[in-house]
Amino acid sequence: NAGVTQTPKFQVLKTGQSMTLQCAQDMNHEYMSWYRQDPGMGLRLIHYSVGAGITDQGEVPNGYNVSRSTTEDFPLRLLSAAPSQTSVYFCASSYSPTDTQYFGPGTRLTVL
Amino acid sequence: GESVGLHLPTLSVQEGDNSIINCAYSNSASDYFIWYKQESGKGPQFIIDIRSNMDKRQGQRVTVLLNKTVKHLSLQIAATQPGDSAVYFCAEYSWESSYKLIFGSGTRLLVRP
């Protein structure tokens, strides 16, 4: 049981590049979500999913896409990276929004 | 690991003292609240939660108090230890927010030996 895993741990992109942040969980959780964390800003919800095939926007969805083709995986795609997207990205999962959320170790993204 | 929350409010306490971390939440309709602990370079870790039909809940060395009248949440840590040094976040949830868990900005707890 690996919990929530995220890859890569670190990434440097140039402005305009695209990439996908991977998130996987092996706890059979229906609810998964992506957050970004900037210094002094706490965690802000980007996108979330209540089950396979169902996604919705959070507080700061612009510039990001998600999909949920399986229960286990919830990738986050940056379409055209911008310096404002430099942040630490966390993926989380739980059985439901009101159950304990388990967070991955994070991906530290720098956009030059 | 990378430092997060460089401009967070900081609470400094002596080892062995009790710590109280406060949080003001924004939505009077919120009905579920959680405290998370985040150590440097790691993801947030669940500490304790409370539902709106309660005003107090206790865990091991931690107590959460909820005052719905003034929309205030607090986390009390008894006999604070060096391992408690971290950033603490409160989070709120309401059915009205369509499954979105909203985090506060956090407080850094420093434990002096």
Q: What is the pLDDT of residues B32-49, one digit of tens each?
A: 999 999 998 889 999 999
Is the pLDDT at B96 greater than 70? The verdict is yes
Is the pLDDT at B27 greater than 90? The verdict is no
CB interface of A with B, residues 14-53, below 8 Å:
31, 33, 35, 37-45, 48, 50
Please count the other Cβ atoms lying within 10 Å of the Cβ belonging to residue B76. 16
Model confidence over A22-55: pLDDT tens digits? 999 999 999 999 999 987 678 899 999 999 999 9
CB interface of B with A, residues 36-55, below 8 Å:
41-46, 49
Residue B11: phi and psi, rounded to 5, are -115, 120
Q: What is the average per-residue pLDDT within B22-31?
A: 88
Residue B7: phi and psi, rounded to 5, are -110, 25
Q: What is the average per-residue pLDDT within B46-72?
A: 95
Model confidence over A91-105: pLDDT tens digits? 999 998 778 889 999
Q: Is A66 helix (H, G, I), strand (E, B) or coil?
A: strand
With residue A57 as reference, give the H or E element that holds it.
strand A54-57
pLDDT attached to residue B102: 83
Do B43 and A48 make contact, defined as CB atoms within 8 angstroms?
A: no
Q: Which residues of B touch A105 (CB under 8 A)?
A: 42-43
Q: How far apart (Å, rounded) are the C-alpha atoms in residues A64 and A89?
A: 12
What is chain B's mean pLDDT, rounded? 88
Q: Is B97 helix (H, G, I), strand (E, B) or coil?
A: helix
